[in-house]
Amino acid sequence: MIVCPKCGGQLADGAKFCKFCGSATIQPQPQAPVHNNVQSNVQKPASQKPKKKKSSKNIVLAIIAVILVIAIAVGGWLLWDVIGEKKKEDLTDEEKLTQILEESTTKPIIEFVYDDYDSDGTCEAYAVVGETDEEDEKHPEFYDADIYFVNNKKAQKIKENVSGKVNGTIKLEDIKYISIEVYEDGTDEGKSFIYTVDGTKSVEPEFSGKYSNVHKEDGKIVGFDDNGEEVDVSTEVNNTTNSSGVTAGDSTTISAGGYHTIGLKNDGTVVAVGENWSGECNVSEWTDIIAISTGDEHTVGLKKDGTVVATERTADTAYTYCGECDVYDWEDIVAISTGIRQTVGLKKDGTVVVTEYLDDGYSEYRSECDVSDWENIIAVSVEGGHVVGLENSGTVVAVGTNNYGQCNVSEWDDIIAISAGNQHTVGLRKDGTVVAVGNNDHGECDVSEWEDIVAVSAGTGYTVGLKKDGTVVATEYIDDPSYNGDDYMGQCDVYEWTDIVEISTGRNHTVGLKKDGTVVATEILSDDSDYGQCDVSSWNDIKLP
């Protein structure tokens, strides 16, 4: 916008003549910029850049980076684990056991004796770790050493800081043992400690540590006693265990009686539940017990010194006392069994003792229980008037009441366990099948189709078998109310049991020991016969066979 110098009219920029008066306009001249060389003393405030907000994009990227790092780490760990597992699969069983041992000790391995000790298809190892000066010998002498038992789960130290040498693996029948000579302090002579395997645990027989230089000779296991005399310990070996890994006679740590039940705890004490008519449950003060057995109205315990204790019969009893508790002069006993009115003991030399039967009006059925000529016996079982013995050859002998043919066992062979019922007898064969003779009114002898059995127990009118998978089978009870007035009481309802390692049958109930040391029992179906004999659910820490 410009102004006319003559009339003062406002004109548009660039107009050369005024549209109001016609006068020429004056155009403004551009001015050159003026530079001020004098520095101003006034300081301008520094310009402040606006703060940038932290980008959310950076946060997301950081999170992604962390996730990637974690994923790579986990993936690498999983890959390494898979590779490690694959390497483990490539290891032999012996290498796996060696690895387990090396994770448990820093001492060098002197001896690693690897074998299938109980012939169950699973290999274990006994190992000596420590120091030795004789590395070139087959069985070097060791000192400051520990002895380990190793299975596929763990290495367990069973002796420590000992000196000695390994006698090697010995075998009798289907059972393998390891003999380890442990020297006495400052000498090169000592005792042989013997070990074998039962399931997943190391087993040390009662004769372990009693003899020197225990070894195999002419098909027998021999050693030397304190007098330097050679002793055949094969009988003691066989009495401890057998090829099936179970006790060869009656149950040793749980026992079902007439109307009561007994259990042996790990500390050597005994618990009992049920009817106590005759004092059969008065066992609370017993100690140092290693095996138990209970009859209809009495209970017997084997002490670790080879002596035997029994409950004292009280006046309140349904039966006349027949001498079944007269066991206090017995010694060198390694196994026991009780019946209705008798008790039998197996001595460590393979002979058998039996309580003298006192006359109760039925002596004609029991006067024949003469076992004085028995020898080479490795298990015994007694029940309603007859006694059964298992010989180390796998054959069976029996004496006593035979009114139902319950003693007709002379043709049996390959037997590894026996059980006498009230009027029948059952035998377990080496191949896991079962044979039976005697009264079959209730179907108690219907066992011919059983297989994979590792233990048997004969009760009153029924039979129960323990299978190798820990389940239990029983004969189908044929009810006959006229038979002693006994109806079916649920004693055969065992088909839901699992993880069982030992069984025992009584008059009308059955009990089973689980591998965790607890006990199960059948349910009594009649209140008239329920005396609390099955109230075992609170039991624990019961000794495993």
pLDDT tens-digit series, residues 495-530: 999 999 899 999 999 999 998 899 999 999 888 889
Distance CA 320, CA 340 (A): 11
446 with 362, same domain: the answer is: yes
Give the integer Cα–Cα distance in Å for 142 and 300.
43
Give this prediction's pTM: 0.61
DSSP 85: H
Say which amino acid occupies 321.
Y
| Domain end among 240, 272, 293 | 240
198, 217, 240 — which closes off a domain?
A: 240
> Which residue ranges of the chain lie beneath pLDDT 50?
34, 37-43, 45-47, 86, 240-246, 365, 367, 485
How many structural domains compose the chain? Answer: 2
- For residues 159 and 275, state if they share a domain: no
Tokens 């090169």 appear where? 188
End-to-end CA distance of the chain: 122
Same domain? For 236 and 307 the reply is: no
Long-range contact list for 325-329, CB < 8 A, 24+ apart?
325/298, 325/300, 325/355, 326/355, 326/356, 327/300, 327/355
Asked whether residue 391 is assigned to any structural domain, the reply reads: yes
CA dist list (Å): 187 to 162, 213, 214, 227, 449: 12, 14, 18, 17, 57
Alpha-carbon dihedral sign for residues 48, 49, 55, 58: negative
pLDDT at 404: 94
Domain of 163? 93-240
Enumerate the β-bridge partners of residue 520.
512
CA 502 to chain CA centroid, nearest Å: 11
Residue 481: inside a domain, yes or no? yes
Q: Write out pLDDT tens, residues 371-414.
A: 999 998 889 999 878 999 998 888 999 999 899 999 999 999 98
Pairwise CA distance, residues 11 & 17, whole Å: 9
329 falls within a domain: yes
Question: Could you tell me if 434 and 490 lie in one domain?
Answer: yes
Please state, in angstroms and as integers, the Cα–Cα distance from residue 220 to each residue in 173, 177, 205, following that order: 9, 12, 16
Residue 497 CA, chain-centre distance (Å), reads 16
For residues 429 and 402, membership in a common domain is answered with yes
Asked, for residue 72, whether it belongs to a domain, the answer is no
Task: List Cβ neighbours of 537 (8 Å cut-off, separation of 6 or more).
Answer: 518, 519, 520
Contact status, residue 114 vs residue 94, Cβ threshold 8 Å: yes
285 in a structural domain: yes
Label residue 50 exposed, middle or buried (CB < 10 Å: 0-12, 13-18, 19+). exposed
Residue 10 Cα to chain centre, angstroms: 118
Measured from the Cβ of residue 21, the count of other Cβ atoms closer than 10 Å reads 12
Q: What angle do CA 247, 305, 393 make, to 5 degrees?
A: 35
Residue whose structure tokens are 């997943």 = 200
User: Across the chain, which distance is largest between two alpha carbons, in Å?
Assistant: 170
458 lies in the same domain as 389: yes
Residues 181 and 234 in one domain: yes
Q: Which amino acid, 334?
A: V
Q: Does residue 21 lie in a domain region?
A: no
Distance separating alpha carbons of residues 13 and 11, to the nearest angstrom? 6
**CA distance linking residue 303 with residue 500, whole number of Å:** 25
Question: Is 380 inside a domain boundary?
Answer: yes
Which of 190, 209, 240 corresponds to the end of one domain? 240
3-state secondary structure 253-290: CEEECCCEEEEEECCCCEEEEECCCCCCCCCCCCCCEE
User: Which two three-digit tokens encode residue 310?
Assistant: 């029994």
Is there a domain that residue 20 lies in?
no
> Would you say 413 and 394 are in contact if contact means Cβ atoms under 8 Å apart?
yes
Per the structure block, which two tokens stand in for 445? 């002898």
Question: In this predicted model, what pLDDT tens digit does every residue of 135-192 receive, in sequence order?
Answer: 656 778 888 999 999 988 888 888 889 999 898 888 776 678 899 999 987 777 889 9
Q: 270 and 194 in one domain?
A: no
What CATH number corresponds to the domain at position 391? 2.130.10.30
Instruction: Tell me, yes or no, whether 316 and 464 share the same domain.
Output: yes
Phi, psi of 83 (to 5 degrees): -65, -40
Distance CA 116, CA 367 (A): 46
Structure tokens at 127: 């190992």
**277 and 224 within one domain:** no
Q: Are residues 292 and 369 in the same domain?
A: yes
Residues 382 and 335 occupy one common structural domain: yes
3-state helix, strand, coil in the chain (%, to 5): 10, 35, 55
Find, among 283, 257, 408, 260, the residue nearest to 340 by Cα.
257
Please give the pLDDT value at position 184.
84
Q: Is the dihedral of CA 11, 17, 23, 26 positive or negative?
A: positive
